[in-house]
Structure 1
Amino acid sequence: MFLRTLSPRLSLTFAALAGAALLAACGKAEEPAPAPAPTATPVAAACGKVTVANMNWQSAEVLAQIDAFILGKGYGCEVELVPGDTMPTLTSMMEKGEPDVAPEAWINAVRDPLDAAVKEGRLHYAAESLKDGGVEGWWIPKYVADANPGIKTIDDALKHPELFPAPEAKGKGAVHNCPSGWNCQITTGNAFKAWDAKKKGFVLVDTGSAAGLDGSIAKAYERKEGWLGYYWAPTSILGKYEMVKLDAGVPHDDAAWKACNSKTECDKPQKNDWASAEVFTVITDRFQKAGGPAVEYLAKRSWGNDTVNGLLAWMSDNQATGEDGARHFLKTQPEVWEAWVSKDVADKVRAALDAA
């Protein structure tokens, strides 16, 4: 996938570290049920101190801030946010048992050692942070999809180069690629070859940077023009501009992906869907045992990409910090987060929001 340092580029840097795209691994991670907390233990006493990884991409940052607010104000935990990134955070948790919580852990690239740590009881999977998983593939604007209901798959789109005009190649269609240095630039280039897009009248457009890729979507929307290319979710762009992911028309073949589709030197890539990234909250055994009712919250706290996309779009439009985004979410979407907690905890969180 992307691996931004673990998000836009989450399947980039990660993929390089793991020897394949971040989303290379398939299969469902175990979700051991957290140990029930004794109801007689006072919430604050049961929770105590907890360290939460504040990872350095937007969706993980705002989720860490939401957790910090709810754990602190709702459960009486003494919360410390610590800087984090997927690989170093999970490695530290596996080797040192700290920090206590990784709110948004993209686990595919470290599945084997992480599953081993879970099996040994050193770490535990809590909620699936992103219930939809991390999603990547080729997308088109919704207005194009609505006007052309026959376009459902990548093959369908490639029959119509006239609907996706290349900015600098008259008469050609365009497939917009990832920025240079991201693993998704490799996988998109191989997909372009696998679907024989050149022979179908398309050129592969180098977007140059993350800003260039985002800007190409924004420009297409402003002009109501066609756009076809790689993107991923959850992101602020997909919260601001409604896009439709095209069906690859084939399943994900992990062996073929690792052998060729994710490699720079891939002579004969095959049509291959992108794997969905599994994204979990991971907690240490110490906190599993000491966190009390707060552990139950982390076992329930899960949200969908549409919710995250919308929140990230609001944050980008308002140049908001993760803390700003957390408060905005808690104030405006109680119907989402109140399902994660008891009424008593929800009352405490609302009171803290009103007092702020």
Structure 2
Amino acid sequence: MKKLLASTLFATGVFALAGSVQAADCGDVSIAEMNWASAGVAAYVDKIILESGYGCKVTMVTGDTMPTFASMNEKGEPDLAPELWVNSVRVPLDAAIGEGRLIQLAPLLSDGGVEGWWIPKFLADAHPDIKTVQDALTHPELFPAPEDPSKAAVHNCPSGWNCQISTANLYKALGAKDKGFELIDTGSAAGLDGSIANAFEKKTGWIGYYWAPTAILGKYEMVKLSFGVEHDKANWDSCTAVADCPDPKVNSYPVSDVYSVVTKNFAEKAGVAMDYVKVRKWDNQTVGKVLAWMDENQGTNEDAAKHFLETYPDLWTTWVAPDVAEKVKADL
């Protein structure tokens, strides 16, 4: 019995030591908290799991697609971008991966991200002839600019996002200005959401860039319009997604690859925490439900992350070892 007790105590000590080494290996980690909801929630899911389950010390860093990628590529920080829409930076990202600076991991959105130009469903129902963006642009009277209803407007996406570049290039390629449309800068994600909410409240037309998964598209029924052409990846990479492209062509948004990207330094220091980041993914339907809860309850990114962990244990516990899952649950 004494021998059994001694061996048990020794084993316990070994596992405790392993746990402390694991925590030391992980060390300080910086995570990009992008300024759109799904990415912000994902960042806090990672923060909670890495801190509670793996003993990391996590710092959140405010980010946008382009500045965050540039910082990771050039400075090696932040360590982790949980939700990077890689189509926006495919060429330089491939170069960074090839040169060993960055590592692309699991596709965070298992069914990809959807981008495009949308109109309210109530408008599409009232005007069944509008099937494409080109159709919509023949009806400037249906899409009044918020500041001057005598003019029409296409709503751009927030400053600092690559979709601001692609929307501007498509606006130019479609000749929207000559058709009476201004390109409206919404300024922020909140401004873009507010413009949609205002259109539904007033039952007025709206056209512009948006993406899924989002709480807004769960709350307001929108219809994504076709650009009438197939996605041309080569032209997208060389022009549509490039600022100030001199001669943009009409193109369609791809179904976006949305991956987690880490720096080489993170991969070297994170230890077994890398096993988690390599496999965790969620689907758009789940994300939409979490974001809808967040919107309805006026929750923060951290609130929504805790709601996800409390509500969907059958999903996230498959990403980690059982002992890690129990540590996370104990801290919720």
Q: TM-score, normalised by structure 2?
A: 0.71
Whole-angstrom CA distance in 2 between matches of 1:94 and 1:263? 19
Higher alpha-carbon Rg: 2
Partner of 1:22: none
Q: Distance in 1 between matches of 2:75 and 2:174?
A: 46
2:280 to 271, 293, 301: 301
Q: Deviations over 1:258-308 (max 9, x none)?
A: 447855574x64321234543322234455456454322211212234444
**CA shift at 1:184, angstroms?**
5.0
Match of 2:120 among 141, 144, 169: 141
Matching of residues 46-125 of structure 1 within 5 Å: 46=22, 48-50=25-27, 51-58=29-36, 59-74=38-53, 76-83=54-61, 85=63, 90=69, 93-94=72-73, 99-108=78-87, 110-112=89-91, 114-125=93-104
| 1:128 matched residue in structure 2 | 107
Whole-Å separation in 1 of the counterparts to 2:69 and 2:183 = 35
TM-aligned CA distance change 1:247 to 1:340, over 3 Å: farther
1:80-102 Cα deviation digits (max 9, x unpaired): 22425355655565566555433
Q: Which of 213, 222, 241 matches 2:220?
A: 241
User: Cα distance 1:304–1:146, how it changes in 2: closer, same or farther (>3 A)?
Assistant: farther
- Distance across 1 between alignment mates of 2:132 and 2:195: 21
Distance 1:113 1:186 in 2: 16
Residue 325 (str. 1) matches residue 304 (str. 2): yes
5+ unaligned residues in a row in structure 1: which ranges? Answer: 1-40
Amino acid in the other structure paired with 1:80:
V
**Separation of aligned partners in 2, 1:92 and 1:124:** 14
Give 1 or 2: higher helix fraction: 2
1:1-356 aligned within 5 A: 42=18, 45-46=21-22, 48-50=25-27, 51-58=29-36, 59-74=38-53, 76-83=54-61, 85=63, 90=69, 93-94=72-73, 99-108=78-87, 110-112=89-91, 114-145=93-124, 151-158=130-137, 164=143, 168-169=148-149, 175-178=154-157, 184=163, 187-196=166-175, 203-204=181-182, 206=184, 209-210=187-188, 211-254=190-233, 256-257=235-236, 258-259=238-239, 264=244, 266=246, 269-285=248-264, 287-288=266-267, 291-353=270-332
Q: Sort the Cα spacing of 1:190 and 1:283 in 2 relative to 1 into closer, same or farther, 3 A.
A: closer
Secondary structure in 1 matching 2:84: strand
Aligned length: 310
Deviations 1:327-349 (A, max 9, x none): 12212333442342344443433
Superposition deviation, residue 129 in structure 1: 2.2
- CA shift in 2, pair 1:110/1:339, >3 Å: same
Q: Residues 187, 61 of structure 1: CA spacing in aligned structure 2 closer, same or farther, 3 A cutoff?
A: closer
Q: How far apart are the structure 2 equivalents of 1:178 and 1:156?
A: 21
203-212 vs 178-187, which moves further? 178-187
Shift of residue 218 of structure 1?
Answer: 0.7
Secondary structure class of the residue paired with 2:107: coil
Deviations 1:41-90 (A, max 9, x none): 9566445324132334244332222112112323x322322425355655
TM-score (norm 1): 0.67
Return closer, same or farther for 1:98/1:331 CA change in 2, 3 Å cut-off: same
CA contact (8 A) 2:51 2:58 kept: no
Please list the CA deviations of residues 99-154 of structure 1 after superposition, one character each: whole Å capped at 9, or x if unmatched. Answer: 54332334445545543443355542221223344443210223444566665432
Instruction: Work out the percentage of aligned pairs sharing the same amino acid.
Output: 52
Question: Residue 272 of structure 1: SS of its match in structure 2?
Answer: coil
- Cα deviation, 1:225-273, whole Å, max 9, x if unaligned, reads 432222234544334323232222213335545447855574x643212
